[in-house]
Amino acid sequence: NAGVMQNPRHLVRRRGQEARLRCSPMKGHSHVYWYRQLPEEGLKFMVYLQKENIIDESGMPKERFSAEFPKEGPSILRIQQVVRGDSAAYFCASSPWGQVGAYEQYFGPGTRLTVT
């Protein structure tokens, strides 16, 4: 069973360009989470999605950032008009669906975004 996959692993963008980060959850997982890790800092939650629904986007910056998890295909984190402060590692995690109980999150290898 393949783990969480993210691509690209490294992405370089010039200021003002768009960055598009992809995440394919583990097979059978219908919950996706995005986290950001700025250099020398801890991971910060950004957004939680289920298929075709954004459940919690309390950690998303109000502007330029958006996320989706369509019925078919990977989850996408889009950053429009990137700035140098967006340079970070972006991690995606997935967990299985369940009504009750604790469900661990499985993380992908991350996408390292560098804005020049």
Partner 1 sequence: DAKTTQPPSMDCAEGRAANLPCNHSTISGNEYVYWYRQIHSQGPQYIIHGLKNNETNEMASLIITEDRKSSTLILPHATLRDTAVYYCIVSTDAGNMLTFGGGTRLMVKP
CA atoms within 13 A on the CB side of 47: 19
In this structure, are residues 47 and 60 in contact, taking their beta carbons and an 8 Å threshold? yes
**What CA–CA distance (Å, rounded) separates 77 from 97?**
21
Residue 13 Ramachandran class (φ > 0 left, ψ -120 to 50 alpha, else beta): beta
* Burial state string for 24-47 with b = 16 or more CB within 10 A and e = fewer than 16: bbbeebebbbbbbeeeeeebeebb
Our finding on whether 107 is near partner 1 (CB under 8 A) is yes
Among 59, 64, 68, 76, binds partner 1 (CB under 8 A): 59
Our finding on whether 55 is near partner 1 (CB under 8 A) is yes
Among 48, 60, 82, 86, binds partner 1 (CB under 8 A): 48
Count of chain residues binding partner 1 (CB under 8 A): 30
Our finding on whether 43 is near partner 1 (CB under 8 A) is yes
Among 44, 61, 73, 81, binds partner 1 (CB under 8 A): 44
> In the range 61-100, which residues lie near partner 1 by CB under 8 A?
89, 91, 93, 95, 97-100
Q: Residue 8 is which amino acid? A: P
> In the range 3-32, which residues lie near partner 1 by CB under 8 A?
4, 31
Query: Footprint of partner 1 on this chain (CB under 8 A)?
Result: 4, 31, 33, 35, 42-45, 48, 55-56, 59, 89, 91, 93, 95, 97-110
